[in-house]
Structure 1
Amino acid sequence: MPALTTTSDGFLLHGEPFRIISGAIHYFRVHPDQWADRLRKARLMGLNTVETYLPWNLHEPEPGTLVLDGLLDLPRFLRLARAEGLRVLLRPGPYICAEWDDGGLPAWLISDPDIRLRTSDPRFTDAFDRYLDQLLPPLLPYLAANGGPVIAVQVENEYGAYGDDTAYLKHVEQALRSRGVDELLFTCDQANAGHLTAGSLPGTLSTATFGSRVDEHLAALRAHQPEGPLMCAEFWIGWFDHWGGPHHRRSAETAAADLDRLLSAGASVNIYMFHGGTNFGFTNGANHHHTYVPTITSYDYDAPLTESGDPGPKYHAFREVIARHAPVPDEPVPAPGPKLPPTTVDLDHRAPLLPYLRTLDGGTRTQDPVTMNELGVHTGHVLYRTTVPTAGDGLLHFGGGVGDRAQVFVDGASVGVLERERRDETLPVRVPHSGAVLEVLVENQGGVNYGPRIGAPKGLLGPVTFQGAALDGWECRPVPLGDLGAVPFGPSGAATDSVPAFHRGTFEVDVPADTFLSLPGWTKGQAWVNGFHLGRYWNRGPQRTLYVPGPVLRPGANELVLLELHATTGTRAQLTDTPDLGPEGQ
C-alpha cells in the first residue's frame, strides 16, 4: 500500500494529514559533495519534501549501460534526503524537459529519424522498459513502502503539451507498477483544460504547473479533477536564460504573495526551482519556437537558493510565508558560504586546436558529410574536412544549414561563421588555389528540450557546394575532450592569432571555497577546472561568470583549461567572489 494516499481534498501520509511543501533540486546539476548542504537548507526554509527529475540520457548514455555514480548517484542523494528528514518526489520521465539536452531523451535513441517519440511506438516504449529494468532495482529500497523517502512518482511530464496518446501514458504507468513502484503516481500538466485532459490518466492524480494567477489555475485544476488534492507540481518562481537574451528575475515579494495564495487555498506545492544549480559540461538544452536559442550554463533560475547555494531574497520571503501555514525549524537561516579570495590566473600555455586534431587517428571518411547523430557523437564538436577543387570567389552553400554553429576555415584561416539561430546556409568565400583545405568546426549547442523539434540532428545537415558544385570526400572527426592530458600544450609566447586553441594556466588555493570564473577579453568556448567541465562561456551574455564549486578545487596548485573557439585579447582569467549573470530583463 502506498505511504501517501489521497482524500477528497488532501493527502494522508501513513494515515495522517500531510501537505506537500516541496522544492525542486536536480541532483545532476549540483556537485555531489554539496548535496547535503542544499538539502539541509531546504529543510531550514520549511520544506518537508524535495523533488527531482531523472535524466535518462545521462543514466543510460549507451544502450544497456547504467550510470549511478558521481553526479548521478541518485541512491546517495536519496539517503541524504532521508537523513535530513525530507520526503522525495521522483520524476523519471521518460521525458523531463528541464531545459536539459534533448529533454533528457538519449541521443542514441532519438537518432532514429523514424521513431515516434513519447508515443506507443514499440521502439520507444521497449527502450524505456529496458531502462527501467536497470534503473528501478537499485531505487526500490528508497520507496516509502520500504522505509525510504520517496512518496510519489510522476508518470511522463507535461504530456498534454505534446500529445494525447493515452495508451502510451498507461504503458508508462504499468511499466512503473509492474517493476515494484507501489507509491502514489501523478501526472503534471499546464493548468488549462486542453493540456490537463490530454495529459491525464484515469486513476492517477492530476497536478498543475503555473507561476501566477493562482486562483484561476487552481480553479482549472479543480474543474478537471472535482475531487482530490490540489497541487501545483511546478510553481514557477523564476525563469531560465538563453544566450543573447536578458537575465530573468522575479521579485521576491510577488513570488511570496503567490506562494501564500497557494498555501492559503489548502493546496500542496513544489517550488520550481528551490535550487537551480548548473548545466555543467554539455548538458544545457535549447528552445526552438520561431528560431533556435540555446540555454546558458547557469541554471540559477532566480531561485530561493542561488546557484552557489546561498540563501537569496526569496529564501527569506518564502520561509516567512511557509511559517504561516506549517512548522518551520527553529534554527537560524544559513549564512552565505565562504568564497575564494579574488585570484588572477595566467593562462601561459597554449595548443592550437586544428593542428592538434590533424595529428589524430580515427576520423570517419564519407563521400558526403554526415550528421553528428550518424557519427554517434552525442555532444560537443565535430571537425569536417575536405578539399576544394576550384579556386576563386564563390558561395559556399550548406544544404539544410548547420546544427548548431559552424566555424569555417580555408587553409587554416577563418572565413566565417554560420548559425542555426540565424538560419544561415550560405557563406561567400575566396578559395586561394585548387586543392585548398576546407575545415568546418561544428558545435552542438544543446538539444531542443520542448516541443516537436526534440532530436533535431546536429552537425552538417546536408551536402556542401562551392560555386554550385558538390564537395565530396569528407573526413569527419569528433573533437576529443574527455582527456585533456593528451593536448600538446606549449608556452603561449606572444601568439595572438585568432584561431581555436586550448589555453592552460595554474593558480594556488589555500582553502578551497566556491568561486566564479570571469573571462574578460575571451569570446566563446568551454572551461575546465582540475578536469571538471564547468560548461560553456560566451561573451554574447547575459551570463558573464561561470560557477566553480568549491569541491572541485584543492589546496595548492589547481589547473584551469579553456577551449577558446575564436580569439582573446589577453591570456588572463579572473576568479571572483561575486557572480555576474547579466543585466536583468523580463
Structure 2
Amino acid sequence: MTSFSLGDTDFLRDGQPHQVISGAIHYFRVHPDQWQDRIRKARVMGLNTIETYVAWNAHEPRRGEWDASGWNDLGRFLDLIHAEGLDAIVRPGPYICAEWHNGGLPVWLTGSVEGLRSSAADFLVEVSAYLRRVYDIVAPRQIDRGGPVVLVQIENEYGAYGSDRAYLEALVAVTRDAGITVPLTTVDQPVDQMLSDGSLPELHKTGSFGSRSAERLATLRRHQSTGPLMCSEFWDGWFDWWGGVHHTTDVATAAADLDELLAAGASVNIYMFHGGTNFALTNGANHKGRYLPLVTSYDYDAPLDEAGNPTEKFFAFREVIARYAPVPDELPAAAEAAPAFEVPLTPAGAWTDLAAPTSTTAQPETFDALGHLSALVRYDTELAGARGGLLVVDEVRDLAWVSVDDRVVGTLSRTRHDRAIRIPDGRTLSILVEDQGRVNYDHRLGEEKGLIGEITLDGAPVTGWRSTPLDVAAIAAEVGTEIDAELDTPAVADAADVLKTGPAAWTGSFTLDAPTDLFLDTMAWSKGYAFVNGFFLGRYWRNGPQRTLSVPAPATREGANRLVVLELENVVEPRAVFVGAPSLGDTEE
C-alpha cells in the first residue's frame, strides 16, 4: 500500500517529496450523475487531488435520519476520485462555512444544543456520533488501505471563531479512535491570532488566502517551522448575494498568484475548482451588520463553471500547473450552447393556502419550534375591531409579505432593517415569512427564523396567531401531479386574473430529444422557486444579480418535461425562457 506523511519540508508519498495540487468539488452541490465528469476534468487540468467538505445537514437534516446514499453518497464520490487516479482530501467539519446554510450544521442541532463549536459535553456527544459515521466511510478509503484519502481536516478556520483547545483535542481523539491514520490538518487565515487559536501542536497548519502568496506563506512558516507549506483554500473567485454583483477575479492575476505558490514549493487546494449550485434551499447568508442571503448559483468564477464547462481560468491554471507537474495531453470538450426556446406558462392557481395551520399560539411560532425545514411559514390572526394602524415587529427573519383580508400591503425585509408598516382596517392579518438562508459563519449560527419578539399594532400586543408551515417542494409536487393529470384539458384560471393576484403556481411543458443541460432565464418573473420534473432548481429573484437557473442534464429527460414555478409576487410575462448560456449578472468592472 502507498504511504503518505509529513516530511521536514514536503509531503512524502512513499517517502518521496510530493506537491499536492488539489481542487475543491463539493459532492452535495453537483448532481451525482455528473460527479465523474467533473472529477475527470480536474485531472485534465493537471490536478492530482480533489478536496471536499462534508455537509452534516445534508446527511442528517433531521436527528437520527442519517443518509449516505444518492446525493449524499460520499463513499461513491471518493471511489470515483480513486478510479480517476487522483487523491482526496476530506474536510468533515463539523462546521464547514462553505456559504452553505447554517455552515453545514443541522438546524435540529443548533436549536437544541448549547456551546456550539466548543468542548461543551452535549455538543461533543452529537459531534462525535456524526464524525464516527463519516469516518466509517472515510477510514477504509485511506491511501494506506488502498484508497484515495491522503489528508483529513479538523474543524474549519476555527481560529476565526474560538480558542477552545479541549474541543480540538476531542475532535482529534474521535478521529484517531475511528481509525483515521493519514495526517490531520487545520486551516486558518494567515493571521497570527487565528493560526495560534485554530490549531494544536500535533496538527499540521495550512492557510486560506487568494493573493500575496509569498507574504502569507511566510506568516504560516513563522507558526510552523517544519513541514510542507500549503494553501488549502486558494481563493480563485468569490460568491454572490442577492442584490449585489457577480464577483469575478482577473484570470492573469489569479494564475500569477497560483504560479507564485507552486514556485515556492507549496502545496495548494484551489477553492473552488468547480463550485456547482446551491440547489433547493441550501444557500447560506452573510451578516456583517447587514443580512445578505446568497444566490442559488455557486459558480464562484471557478475554472470549471457552474454547468461544468472549462473557462479561460481553466486553461490559464493548466498552463501554470504544467510548469511544475505532468499535465495530460487530453483537453476537455469546449462548451456548447444549450437549447434555446420558450415555453408558455399556464396558471395553476394560488398555492400559499395549500396547507392547514399546525398550531394556534399567543405568539407566532418560529420555523425552529415548528420543526420546519422549508422556506415559508404563514402567520394569521384576527384584528380586534377590524382596525388597522402601525404594525411593528421586533425582528423579521428574513422577508415578510404583509396582507390584510388577502390584499398585500407591503413587505418587511431584514436586509433593509424593516420593523414597521402601516396597515389598513380589516379583519384578518396575514404575514408570509420566508427563510432566505441561514447565516453560515460566526456566532449567528443556528439563529431562529420567523417573526421574532413582540408584535404590536399601535402599541398594543397582537396575539392569537395561527402558524402554517409551507413545504414548497411538497406543494410543487402536488401542483405537478395535478397538471400531469389534467394535461389534455387543464382546468385553470385565466392568466390575466392570476397576474393580478400575487402568489400563484404556474406550469409548463417542453419536449427534448435527449437529456441535456439547460439554462432557465427567470427575469420575466419576480421571486420564487422553480422545479423541472420535480427536481428543485432553487430560488430565483429579480433582485439579481443571477438571472438564470442551471438545469443539470440528469434532471431532464427524453420526451416530455414538466416545469413548475411557485411565484411569490408577480409573473410579469407568463412564459419560461431557456437560453443558450448562463447569465449570472453584472460585474464590478
Equivalent residue for 1:410, pick from 385, 404, 420: 404
Counterpart-to-counterpart distance in 2, 1:520 and 1:421: 21
Q: Deviations over 1:247-273 (max 9, x none)?
A: 111111000000000000000000000
Cα offset, 1:134, TM superposition: 2.7
Closer/same/farther in 2, CA of residues 355 and 373 from structure 1, 3 Å limit: closer
User: What TM-score, normalized to structure 1?
Assistant: 0.96
SS at match of 2:345: strand
Structure 2 counterpart of 1:207, which letter? Answer: T
1:389 aligns with 2:384: yes
1:348 aligns with 2:320: no
Structure 2 counterpart of 1:22, which letter? Answer: S
Counterpart-to-counterpart distance in 2, 1:465 and 1:459: 16
Give the equivalent residue in structure 2 for 1:491: 492
Give the equivalent residue in structure 2 for 1:440: 431
Equivalent residue for 1:420, pick from 411, 414, 421: 414
Counterpart-to-counterpart distance in 1, 2:473 and 2:501: 24
SS at match of 2:319: helix
Cα offset, 1:159, TM superposition: 0.3
Structure 2 counterpart of 1:49, which letter? Answer: T
Structure 2 counterpart of 1:335, which letter? Answer: A
Q: Deviations over 1:532-579 (max 9, x none)?
A: 111110001000101111111001110111111101122101011111
SS at match of 2:320: helix
Q: Deviations over 1:223-268 (max 9, x none)?
A: 1111110000000010001110111111110000000000000000
Cα offset, 1:12, TM superposition: 0.6
Structure 1 counterpart of 2:466, which letter? Answer: E
Counterpart-to-counterpart distance in 2, 1:340 and 1:206: 43
SS at match of 1:462: strand
1:459 aligns with 2:450: yes
Select between 569-578 and 42-51 the one with higher mean Cα deviation. Answer: 569-578
Counterpart-to-counterpart distance in 1, 2:447 and 2:136: 32
In the alignment, structure 2 segments of 5+ residues that lack a partner are 484-490
Give the equivalent residue in structure 1 for 2:44: 44
Select between 81-90 and 60-69 the one with higher mean Cα deviation. Answer: 60-69
Cα offset, 1:339, TM superposition: 4.4
Is the 2:20–2:267 contact (alpha carbons within 8 Å) kept by the matching residues of 1? yes
Percent of residue pairs identical: 50
Is the 1:311–1:336 contact (alpha carbons within 8 Å) kept by the matching residues of 2? yes
Counterpart-to-counterpart distance in 1, 2:137 and 2:222: 39
Give the equivalent residue in structure 2 for 1:79: 79
Is the 2:404–2:429 contact (alpha carbons within 8 Å) kept by the matching residues of 1? yes
Cα offset, 1:145, TM superposition: 2.1
Counterpart-to-counterpart distance in 2, 1:520 and 1:293: 20
Counterpart-to-counterpart distance in 2, 1:23 and 1:501: 42
Give the equivalent residue in structure 2 for 1:234: 233
Cα offset, 1:41, TM superposition: 0.3
1:471 aligns with 2:462: yes
Counterpart-to-counterpart distance in 1, 2:183 and 2:109: 29
Is the 1:524–1:539 contact (alpha carbons within 8 Å) kept by the matching residues of 2? yes
SS at match of 1:534: strand
Cα offset, 1:386, TM superposition: 1.1
1:185 aligns with 2:184: yes
In the alignment, structure 1 segments of 5+ residues that lack a partner are none
1:325 aligns with 2:324: yes
Is the 2:347–2:504 contact (alpha carbons within 8 Å) kept by the matching residues of 1? no
SS at match of 1:374: helix
Q: Deviations over 1:484-510 (max 9, x none)?
A: 332366424232214111111111111
Select between 402-411 and 336-345 the one with higher mean Cα deviation. Answer: 336-345
Give the equivalent residue in structure 2 for 1:57: 57
Matches within 5 A, 1:89-108: 89-108=89-108
Select between 452-461 and 226-235 the one with higher mean Cα deviation. Answer: 452-461
Is the 2:92–2:134 contact (alpha carbons within 8 Å) kept by the matching residues of 1? no
Cα offset, 1:140, TM superposition: 2.3
Give the equivalent residue in structure 2 for 1:7: 7
Is the 1:2–1:184 contact (alpha carbons within 8 Å) kept by the matching residues of 2? no
SS at match of 2:431: strand
Give the equivalent residue in structure 1 for 2:578: 575
Give the equivalent residue in structure 2 for 1:110: 110
Give the equivalent residue in structure 1 for 2:486: none
Counterpart-to-counterpart distance in 1, 2:382 and 2:524: 33
Cα offset, 1:2, TM superposition: 8.8
Is the 2:374–2:472 contact (alpha carbons within 8 Å) kept by the matching residues of 1? no
Select between 156-165 and 455-464 the one with higher mean Cα deviation. Answer: 455-464
Q: Deviations over 1:422-461 (max 9, x none)?
A: 12111111123xxx11111111111101111111210111
Counterpart-to-counterpart distance in 1, 2:388 and 2:67: 51
Counterpart-to-counterpart distance in 2, 1:138 and 1:198: 29
Matches within 5 A, 1:64-213: 64-112=64-112, 115-213=114-212
Give the equivalent residue in structure 2 for 1:225: 224
Closer/same/farther in 2, CA of residues 486 and 15 from structure 1, 3 Å limit: same
Counterpart-to-counterpart distance in 1, 2:516 and 2:334: 12
Is the 1:31–1:551 contact (alpha carbons within 8 Å) kept by the matching residues of 2? yes
4+ residue segments displaced more than 4 Å: none
How many pairs align?
577
User: What TM-score, normalized to structure 2?
Assistant: 0.96
Structure 1 counterpart of 2:477, which letter? Answer: G
Select between 209-218 and 508-517 the one with higher mean Cα deviation. Answer: 508-517
Is the 1:339–1:513 contact (alpha carbons within 8 Å) kept by the matching residues of 2? no
Closer/same/farther in 2, CA of residues 315 and 354 from structure 1, 3 Å limit: closer
